[in-house]
């Protein structure tokens, strides 16, 4: 067994290094509230916007019921967070909500406030000892030992092992792993890691831990060929704007395996009425003009087994992703390829699910060929 394929983390390394700082910040807010009460002043809690970066004081009493609710909810969450940090226990956002569902009203309201508090303090959400509920699944050649000495053998033949929080991991054994595959959703494959849709922080943090601990093991992404799938892949790779303050949640080296436009066209024999095949060679730059016949001449996507045409929302999202690429500095190969794929998607007006590369929805053969080509 190669020692580089087994990593043990000390308990000190797994502890939250910002606990003392955040406890002091919370206590400062609470002390200011107590002082304001004794002096008959308006109570305030500072909150920094994740969109503008500006700090706003949430007041009580306030002119609107919405601000009164926000102040009360913030105060309760700060109290829960303080208790969790002092005791050293992790709590889920879901458990925060169920401590007072009538007050919070919805889980989403709690989620937004927790992320706002973390952003205000300048740390990731996990630094508050408040974590997301388990969502993603993991299977394959990896054994995870948790801090309580229990073991998750992800190669046991079951595809339903929930992804644990990174802070709960004591040891990783990936001696038999040759690659890591992120799959957008469950598609009946074994040896996978899936966030089951849009990437959650638990999954992203575990992937970052894998990459940091085992840099020699490649990580691939398998997502639907549509704007949402590409956005999901980019979130794993680059992070998201709303959670840009979160640390250790990106995998810049992530490689997009597909399916891509070439895979869809190859499987569907997608040709123009003239019989001319479409050139799927990436352009030299994101803004390069593409030589295609008029859009009206492209055959119906459904006649080739592609899932469907792009919706208006899909087109807006794809165009938005292209604009972001155009505003980025540099002309890297990944950027050029991604721009090409989005342009082809828009011109052909098609999107396809992962399973579209096989008539029966079994993509194992296609996946084997792709992985083998990457190793050559």
Specify the DSSP element, H or E, that contains 48.
Answer: strand 43-48
Specify the DSSP element, H or E, that contains 181.
Answer: strand 180-183
Tens of pLDDT, residues 166-177: 878 888 998 888
User: What region does 51 belong to: left with phi over 0, alpha with psi -120 to 50, or beta?
Assistant: alpha
- Residue 67 is assigned to a structural domain of this protein: yes
Question: 84: domain CATH number?
Answer: 1.10.10.10
User: How confident is residue 103, by pLDDT bands cut at 50, 70 and 90?
Assistant: very high
* Same domain, residue pair 127 and 138: no
| pLDDT, position 189 | 54
| pLDDT, position 322 | 92
Q: Give me the mean pLDDT over the 281-285 stretch.
A: 49
| pLDDT, position 160 | 67
Q: Give me the mean pLDDT over the 331-352 stretch.
A: 88
Please list, in sequence order, all residues whose beta carbon lies within 8 angstroms of the beta carbon of residue 311, skipping any fewer than 6 positions away: none
Q: Could you tell me whether strands 55-60 and 43-48 are parallel, antiparallel, or unpaired per DSSP bridges?
A: antiparallel
Tens of pLDDT, residues 285-341: 444 433 333 333 344 444 344 457 899 999 999 999 999 888 877 667 788 899 999
* Same domain, residue pair 23 and 117: yes
* Same domain, residue pair 271 and 234: no
User: How confident is residue 281, by pLDDT bands cut at 50, 70 and 90?
Assistant: low
Higher pLDDT, 111 or 196: 111
d(CA 348, CA 294) in angstroms, rounded, equals: 10
Please list, in sequence order, all residues whose beta carbon lies within 8 angstroms of the beta carbon of residue 251, skipping any fewer than 6 positions away: 204, 207, 208, 211, 219, 236, 237
d(CA 296, CA 53) in angstroms, rounded, equals: 45
The string of DSSP codes covering 216-238 is TS-EEEE--BSHHHHHHHHHHHH
Specify the DSSP element, H or E, that contains 204.
Answer: helix 201-213
- Residue 228 is assigned to a structural domain of this protein: yes
- Residue 373 is assigned to a structural domain of this protein: no
Residue span of the structural domain in which 100 resides:
15-131
Q: Is the dihedral of CA 355, 357, 361, 363 positive or negative?
A: negative
Q: How many domains does the structure of the chain reveal?
A: 3
Q: Give me the mean pLDDT over the 23-30 stretch.
A: 96
* Same domain, residue pair 142 and 230: yes
Q: Give me the mean pLDDT over the 215-225 stretch.
A: 92
Q: Give me the mean pLDDT over the 11-23 stretch.
A: 70
């Amino acid at each position: 067994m190669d020692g580089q394929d087994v990593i043990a983390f000390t308990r000190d390394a797994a502890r939250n290094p910002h606990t003392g700082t955040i406890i002091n910040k919370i206590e400062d807010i609470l002390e200011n509230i107590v002082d304001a009460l004794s002096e008959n002043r308006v109570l305030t809690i500072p909150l920094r916007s994740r969109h503008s970066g500006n700090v706003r004081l949430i007041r009580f009493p306030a002119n609107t019921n919405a601000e009164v609710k926000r102040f009360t909810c913030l105060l309760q969450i700060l109290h829960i967070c303080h208790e969790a940090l002092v005791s050293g226990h992790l709590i889920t956002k879901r458990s925060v909500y169920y401590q007072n569902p009538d007050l919070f009203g919805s889980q989403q309201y709690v989620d937004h406030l927790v992320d706002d508090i973390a952003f205000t303090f300048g740390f990731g959400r996990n630094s508050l000892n408040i974590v997301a509920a388990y969502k993603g699944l993991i299977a394959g050649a990896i054994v995870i030992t948790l801090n309580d000495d229990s073991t998750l053998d992800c190669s046991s033949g079951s595809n339903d092992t929930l992804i644990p929080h990174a802070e709960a991991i004591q040891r990783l054994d990936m001696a038999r792993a040759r690659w890591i595959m992120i799959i957008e959703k469950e598609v009946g494959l074994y040896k996978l890691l899936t966030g089951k849709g849009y990437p959650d922080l638990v999954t992203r943090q575990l992937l970052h831990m894998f990459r940091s601990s085992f840099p020699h093991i490649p990580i691939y992404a398998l997502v639907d060929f549509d704007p949402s799938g590409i956005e999901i892949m980019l979130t794993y790779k680059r992070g998201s704007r709303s959670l840009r303050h979160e640390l250790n949640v990106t995998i810049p080296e992530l490689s997009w395996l597909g399916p891509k436009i070439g895979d869809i066209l190859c499987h569907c024999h997608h040709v123009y009425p003239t019989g001319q095949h479409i050139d799927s060679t990436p352009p030299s730059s994101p803004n390069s003009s593409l030589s295609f016949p008029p859009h009206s001449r492209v055959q119906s996507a459904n006649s080739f087994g592609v899932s469907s045409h792009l919706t208006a929302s899909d087109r807006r999202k794809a165009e938005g992703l292209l604009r972001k690429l155009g505003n980025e500095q540099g002309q890297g190969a990944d950027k050029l390829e991604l721009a090409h794929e989005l342009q082809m998607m828009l011109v052909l007006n098609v999107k396809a699910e992962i399973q579209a590369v096989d008539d029966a929805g079994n993509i194992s053969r296609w996946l084997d060929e792709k992985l083998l080509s990457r190793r050559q």
